[in-house]
Structure 1
Amino acid sequence: MEKTYYTIGMAGHIDHGKTALTKALTNVDTDRLKEEKERGISIEPGYAPFETEDGTQLSIIDVPGHERFIRQMIAGVAGIDLVVLVIAADEGVMPQTEEHLEILQFLGVEHCIVAITKIDRVDDIMLELVQEDIQERLEGTIFDGAPYVMVDSLSGTGVNQLKSTIIDSLKAVKFRDAYGSFRLPIDQVFTVQGQGTVVRGTIYEGAVQKGAQLTLLPKGLKVKARQIQVHHEEREEARAGQRTAVNLGGIDKTEVFRGDVLVASDHFLVTATIDIVLNLTGGSFTPLKQRAPVKVHVGTSEVMGKIVFFDRNELEQTGEEVMCQIRLDEEIVVRRGDRFILRRPTPVETLGGGWVIQPKGGKYRFGPETIEMLRNVMKGTPADLVEEALAKNILLDLKQLIQQTSLDEPVLKETIAAGLENGSLLETGSQKFTLAKTFSKITGEFVERVETYHTDFPMRPGMSKAELSQSLSASYPKPFIEYSLNRLTEQGDLKKVGQFIALGTFEPHLPKQWKVRMEGIIAALEKDGIQVKKWEQYFAGSPLPKSEISDLTLYLLEMKQIYPLQEDTMIHRSAVEEAAARLKQDTEAAFGLKEAKDSLDLSRKYLIPLLELFDSLGITERAEDQRRWTGK
């Protein structure tokens, strides 16, 4: 069974016992970690690993304060799957608790557990009052009805109950699909002596393998994942929901910044203009004028920009959602549906939050037509929603598409049928669907990789199927790779040669750079006939690299231009054919060793291996001390 990974946030007012509760759950003192000297590429202080009895792996983040909360938790639903709202029994709901609640709702975090801590400090009456206070504050919010657990972190009272409640609550949390395109928003960059640049963050979607070729956005720099760690442990792979550190090859620390994003495909947009749906904070704020400077927190990015309204010139408190646009000072990486927080830089205050409805906005006219257009984009047509889901997940069946798009089954089936008819969708053999343009994209990647391999290794029959599939596994799910490979083989674009994949028109051949020298070596072997030297002697003084000698040997054997005579000698096919013809002419239907020696005039050193080669090729067959011609 595939393991599941979740991230839990410990939120709440300062000194309400978040750190002590994290230690009670995980036996990890996150305060101690903050002062501990880092080794290797271990996970950022403040994060503690916690594995449940059923194998579910959790990362618990102890959020130390409001500013840190905004910077670390704003990674959105990918960063936090469930929040434990920590409220001390002796103080109740405090201002920072209110702020955390509001921001969590803006970010779309839907699952919450209320942990009432320090219960040893109050009596039953006070505890009841605190519960009523919390219930009143949560009423009408997305966390209304969240379970309560009474705990005392020092004595351990209620800790096991909290663990059980966490496990039960996670059953309702949708586990992020690791088959999406890999995306890791970076929240910390540093160097480790002897290893180079290391980045870390929580994987938003997809999976990354050790050795994978990645792209750093928005700059578009190519890097390699040289090493991967999850909570101090080196891994071959890390998946969506895991807190991960990646040692990058091919880049200096000065080229990487918090807010950059690591991806494994070109499915992601780099943009400086985003169309958004904005919901405002419940508190009061100074009215915001048209094109006023704002700070946007999205993913791990904190970017300044200007807010642009299309139906007003000033934003005041309103209970309605606002359709507008942010024109950013720097490019960022976002997708439709990504959550954000909007803050005013001066005076510093949170204005609200919402989600990105269009990651690459345009320039629109002021007026109701633009608002209507943005609302239509927000809602999305059924075809838009299907395309969006398949662009993100690549391969989905009907049930998964219903979950991803929230479309009714009849509407979804009608949309799929139309897409299959107009060619925008493809149905795979596994009754799953994909975008035609995604298949076109992977086709280009298959052909490009195999073509490059043929250029580098022209004498080899093709690229290993396993190696080719692995090279694309970080960007595409295995079933889609198999489907695409089979379809390209059926179409003739590619062909299977045993365990190798080659272009449909490719035939192994001598490399142009070494062709003349290689032909000279082959000619020398052919000239020596059956009196051959050791194979390595034919390369004496040759500038051929060892890798080319090895490939040439395998190529000639595969093409049956040469045969192994002994462990260290080869013989040309023409010499074998000529020797067989001469021997057959000089002997009867059956012959012995003496007749063969008289005919070929060979010493036993060469004669015995040659006759055994005849046997293995089926030219002759041995019966005791005699051999018979087979007629081949």
Structure 2
Amino acid sequence: MNHQGHYIIGTAGHVDHGKTALIRALTGVETDRLSEEKKRGISIELGFARLDLGHGQIAGVVDVPGHEKFIPQMLSGIAGIDLVLLVVDANEGVMQQTREHLQIMELLTLQNGILVISKCDLVEPDWLDIVEEEIREQVAGTFLAEAPCCRVSALAGEGLDALLETIRRQLRRVEPRDNSGAVRLPVDRCFSISGFGTVVTGTLTSGTIATGDNLEIQPAGVTARVREAQVHDQQVSQVFAGQRVALNLAGINREQVPRGSVLGTPGLFRATQRIDVQLQLLPEVPWPLKFRDQVHFHLGTGRSVARVVLLDREKMEGGEQALVQLTLDQPVLAHRGDRFIIRSYSPMYTIGGGVVIDAEPQKHKRFRPEVTQRLQELLSGDLGFWLQKLDELQLARLKELEKQTGTGRDQLLAGLETLREQGRVEPLAEQWVSSERLRSWKQQVPDIVSHYHRQHPLRHGMPRATLQAQLSAKLAPKGFEVLLQWAFDEKLLTPCRDVIATPGWQPQLQPEQQQIVARIEAYFRSTGFDVKNNQEVLLQLGYEDIDAEAYFSFLYLEGMLVRLNQESSLHREHYRQAEELLAKHFNQQPTLTLAQFRDQLGSGRKLTQALLELFDSLKFTRRIDDHRVAWQLPEV
């Protein structure tokens, strides 16, 4: 058996064919809880039980209603099971809901099942052979074609041991669930218990939940803390994928978690009202499905009304398959690869189902070959889907890709490594980017900087932040530095203090600009420590209309002026004098106050403060309360 020992068994079959009685006989649990169910003798809601398989193995059992009016409840319970028991009454044989349940299970691509003929004590043994032959004819060509068949009587207790052994044998074929992935728990029940608060139940499809964890509820978008967790009425500290669980949630009320909600890892999931799907209609559909028809949409435990947008045709006939965009009347949490069912709007019966291709697509225009081609590529496998999502995002961190693809971290990393080996993606520090986009950026970088030179001939180069923003707003600083280092290594760009330039670039000053530079430099030299802020200097010189940033940047990079802060500057000669005064002072005294340094400079308080704060940032000094002490004084 699966090493985790976590299984979910579900029932299927026509109403009153003995599903609930069978579960009662196997588990000792009466799954019909409602008074109306007991009064009418049929299941209306989902029922749940615990089945002891022996040797410490426990399975959760979901008993679904068989009546046609309760197909939505059946759909809420059948998704996510490991093994189905298709129950057929020996007296009645295959009936309408037997067929519809089988169609639903086929559309959901269930893989493992057992045929169960119930009420065998009420018919002759020869008749059972005829019933089994009828069932075999019905399941031919489906996943149940080779399924074992067990003959039982729940009331007489006949065949139960053989059925139990068959269940054990079939469960050995179950693949382990993903305990390491993101948490995803579709809610099939929510209720309140006096003194405890809100309780939700469901089958944990992926991940692990521990007491104290915070989970996000979609589509409500609220977060709740797990106060307590239970599996089969036993309190546990952790629950794992593949288990039927009950969670006592703190911080929410039951109205925020209706059936169809999904509990997941915070910040990783997002509900959507538009999905791209591959849709398959059943051959028996009596009339075509047309563009913009409404259907009932069922995914997991959730349901909504969807409008069908056929992308490459006006209508679908029974048995056809097509690429479709569904727009939903309310948000659902869907992921690529999720299976779904659609039912006709009125009257309601199952007409098809399919698989989610993209859970967060853009709105498509119809009859566009590039749209259908892209969807076909996404259908081809996970690698194509991940590459497409990465291209849409431009570049992304691993967590963002987890969120967009709904894929566990380990699986996603392995896939990205495969794509890297194929030359289709590259890591850029903490982000991933398609190789095609990275090549494009590498071609653009020197062109962008060259264009900047032409636009700003007075400047020594392009600010790093400006170049980063022009490439992509999503490019993180670490990734940008990796890209820059490549450009430096290839000698396409060169660093020039805090700006970037093409090799050999020098500012191109016109005679009029040279005159402005000379006058500004001369003014700062002549005024010394009595100089005002940059803007006032330009006003004094009559240059209030020039590009101040460009001129001051030139003066700084040429070493004529020293930037103290965003507002103030000092001529390099006077700045050097300030360094000498600082060193001289600390050769004689252990501390320095702002007032002392102001008097030594013969300057105003504002410029003195700007100088001392610059010295602090350069680690020449360290401020302690209202005075400074020497740290790593400049060499003078």
Q: TM-score range by the shorter chain?
A: 0.5 to 0.7
How far the C-alpha of 1:391 sits from its partner, in A, is: 5.4
User: How big is each residue's C-alpha offset from its partner over 1:337-394, in whole Å with a ceiling of 9 and x where there is no partner?
Assistant: 1111111222222220111011112222221513222212211463546998995221
How far apart in 1 are the matches of 2:217 and 2:338?
19
Aligned twin of 1:270: 271
How far apart in 1 are the matches of 2:417 and 2:184?
30
Aligned twin of 2:27: 26
How far apart in 2 are the matches of 1:278 and 1:383?
20
Q: 1:74 to 1:425 in 2, by over 3 A?
A: farther
Q: 1:277 to 1:45 in 2, by over 3 A?
A: closer
How far apart in 1 are the matches of 2:192 and 2:37?
16
Aligned twin of 1:331: 331
The one-letter code sitting in structure 1 at the alignment partner of 2:266 is S
How far the C-alpha of 1:199 sits from its partner, in A, is: 1.6
8 Å contact kept, 1:383–1:415: no
Q: Secondary structure at the match of 1:99?
A: helix
Q: 1:70 to 1:56 in 2, by over 3 A?
A: farther
1:561-600 mapped onto 2 (5 Å cutoff): none
1:382-461 mapped onto 2 (5 Å cutoff): 382=383, 384=385, 392-396=407-411, 415=419, 417-418=421-422, 422-423=426-427
Q: 1:34 to 1:5 in 2, by over 3 A?
A: farther
How far the C-alpha of 1:25 sits from its partner, in A, is: 1.1
Aligned twin of 1:61: 62
Aligned twin of 1:201: 202
**Is the counterpart of residue 90 in structure 1 residue 91 in structure 2?**
yes
Q: Secondary structure at the match of 1:126?
A: helix
User: How big is each residue's C-alpha offset from its partner over 1:128-183, in whole Å with a ceiling of 9 and x where there is no partner?
Assistant: 11111111111111221111111122222211111111111111111212111111
Aligned twin of 1:299: 300
Higher relative contact order (CA 8 A, sep 6+): 1
How far the C-alpha of 1:3 sits from its partner, in A, is: 3.6
Aligned twin of 1:613: none
1:525-544 mapped onto 2 (5 Å cutoff): none
Aligned twin of 2:140: 139
Unaligned runs of 5+ in 1: 38-43, 406-411, 427-434, 438-632
Q: Secondary structure at the match of 1:31?
A: coil
Count of residue pairs the alignment pairs up:
411
How far the C-alpha of 1:288 sits from its partner, in A, is: 2.5
How far apart in 2 are the matches of 1:175 and 1:66?
32
How far apart in 2 are the matches of 1:140 and 1:174?
23
How far apart in 2 are the matches of 1:126 and 1:353?
35
Q: 1:219 to 1:235 in 2, by over 3 A?
A: same
Aligned twin of 1:233: 234
How far apart in 1 are the matches of 2:425 and 2:378?
24
8 Å contact kept, 2:112–2:170: yes
Q: Secondary structure at the match of 2:165?
A: helix
User: How big is each residue's C-alpha offset from its partner over 1:195-252, in whole Å with a ceiling of 9 and x where there is no partner?
Assistant: 2222221112111111111111122211111111222111211111212121111112
How far the C-alpha of 1:323 sits from its partner, in A, is: 0.9
How far apart in 1 are the matches of 2:420 and 2:157?
54
How far apart in 2 are the matches of 1:150 and 1:363?
52
How far the C-alpha of 1:36 sits from its partner, in A, is: 11
How far the C-alpha of 1:2 sits from its partner, in A, is: 5.5
How far apart in 2 are the matches of 1:261 and 1:214?
10
Q: Secondary structure at the match of 2:421?
A: helix
The one-letter code sitting in structure 1 at the alignment partner of 2:408 is N
Aligned twin of 1:458: none
Aligned twin of 2:157: 156
The one-letter code sitting in structure 2 at the alignment partner of 1:364 is H
How far the C-alpha of 1:419 sits from its partner, in A, is: 7.0
Q: Secondary structure at the match of 1:423?
A: strand
8 Å contact kept, 2:108–2:353: yes
Q: 1:313 to 1:76 in 2, by over 3 A?
A: farther
Give the percent of matched residue pairs that are identical in Structure 1 and Structure 2: 40
Q: Secondary structure at the match of 1:376?
A: helix
How far apart in 2 are the matches of 1:171 and 1:266?
35
CA RMSD of aligned residues (A): 3.0
Q: Secondary structure at the match of 1:269?
A: coil
How far apart in 2 are the matches of 1:59 and 1:115?
18
How far apart in 2 are the matches of 1:230 and 1:159?
25
**Is the counterpart of residue 320 in structure 1 residue 335 in structure 2?**
no
Aligned twin of 1:449: none
How far apart in 1 are the matches of 2:187 and 2:382?
33
How far apart in 2 are the matches of 1:380 and 1:273?
21
Q: 1:68 to 1:418 in 2, by over 3 A?
A: farther
8 Å contact kept, 1:179–1:207: yes
How far apart in 2 are the matches of 1:171 and 1:34?
37
Q: Secondary structure at the match of 1:340?
A: strand
Aligned twin of 1:121: 122
User: How big is each residue's C-alpha offset from its partner over 1:502-525, in whole Å with a ceiling of 9 and x where there is no partner?
Assistant: xxxxxxxxxxxxxxxxxxxxxxxx
**Is the counterpart of residue 360 in structure 1 residue 360 in structure 2?**
yes
Aligned twin of 1:376: 377
How far the C-alpha of 1:6 sits from its partner, in A, is: 1.0
Q: Secondary structure at the match of 1:285?
A: coil
Aligned twin of 1:347: 347
8 Å contact kept, 1:296–1:342: yes
Q: Secondary structure at the match of 1:187?
A: strand
Q: 1:212 to 1:275 in 2, by over 3 A?
A: same
8 Å contact kept, 1:34–1:45: no
Mark the structure with the bigger radius of gyration.
2
How far apart in 2 are the matches of 1:184 and 1:285?
36
1:491-506 mapped onto 2 (5 Å cutoff): none
How far the C-alpha of 1:254 sits from its partner, in A, is: 2.6
User: How big is each residue's C-alpha offset from its partner over 1:436-459, in whole Å with a ceiling of 9 and x where there is no partner?
Assistant: 69xxxxxxxxxxxxxxxxxxxxxx
How far apart in 2 are the matches of 1:147 and 1:210?
40
Q: Secondary structure at the match of 1:392?
A: coil
The one-letter code sitting in structure 2 at the alignment partner of 1:348 is M
Q: 1:305 to 1:343 in 2, by over 3 A?
A: same
How far apart in 1 are the matches of 2:34 and 2:234?
16
User: How big is each residue's C-alpha offset from its partner over 1:578-629, in whole Å with a ceiling of 9 and x where there is no partner?
Assistant: xxxxxxxxxxxxxxxxxxxxxxxxxxxxxxxxxxxxxxxxxxxxxxxxxxxx
The one-letter code sitting in structure 2 at the alignment partner of 1:248 is L
How far the C-alpha of 1:45 sits from its partner, in A, is: 6.4
User: How big is each residue's C-alpha offset from its partner over 1:67-125, in whole Å with a ceiling of 9 and x where there is no partner?
Assistant: 57643443587521110001111211111100110011111211110011111222232
Aligned twin of 1:221: 222
Unaligned runs of 5+ in 2: 39-44, 391-400, 434-636
How far apart in 2 are the matches of 1:425 and 1:150?
62
TM value normalised by structure 1: 0.60
The one-letter code sitting in structure 1 at the alignment partner of 2:158 is T
Q: 1:282 to 1:55 in 2, by over 3 A?
A: farther
How far apart in 1 are the matches of 2:203 and 2:297?
19
How far apart in 1 are the matches of 2:386 and 2:358?
12
How far apart in 2 are the matches of 1:277 and 1:11?
25
How far apart in 2 are the matches of 1:297 and 1:345?
12
Aligned twin of 1:177: 178
How far apart in 2 are the matches of 1:344 and 1:421?
43
How far apart in 1 are the matches of 2:423 and 2:181?
21
How far apart in 1 are the matches of 2:409 and 2:210?
18
The one-letter code sitting in structure 2 at the alignment partner of 1:423 is P
Q: Secondary structure at the match of 1:186?
A: strand
The one-letter code sitting in structure 2 at the alignment partner of 1:333 is L
User: How big is each residue's C-alpha offset from its partner over 1:22-67, in whole Å with a ceiling of 9 and x where there is no partner?
Assistant: 1121121223677899xxxxxx961110121132221111222245
8 Å contact kept, 2:378–2:384: no
8 Å contact kept, 1:76–1:339: no
Aligned twin of 2:75: 74
Q: 1:418 to 1:424 in 2, by over 3 A?
A: farther
Aligned twin of 1:112: 113
